[in-house]
Amino acid sequence: MDRQVRLAAGSLVLTGLIAGRHRNAARWLSAGVAGGLVFSALTNTCGMAKILAKLPHNRPKATDLKNTLAGLTG
Report the distance separating Cα 2 and Cα 8, nearest Å.
Answer: 10
pTM, 2 dp: 0.68
CA dist., res. 3 & res. 68, Å (int): 29
List the domain range (segments joined by +) for residue 44. Answer: 2-73
CB contact burial 10-46 (16+ within 10 A = b; e otherwise): eebbeebeeebeeeeeeeebbeebeeebeebeeeeeb
How many domains are contained in the chain?
1
The sign of the dihedral angle between the CA atoms of 5, 9, 12, 15 is negative
Q: Over the stretch 6-47, which tens digit does the pLDDT of each residue have?
A: 889 999 999 999 999 999 998 999 999 999 999 999 999 988
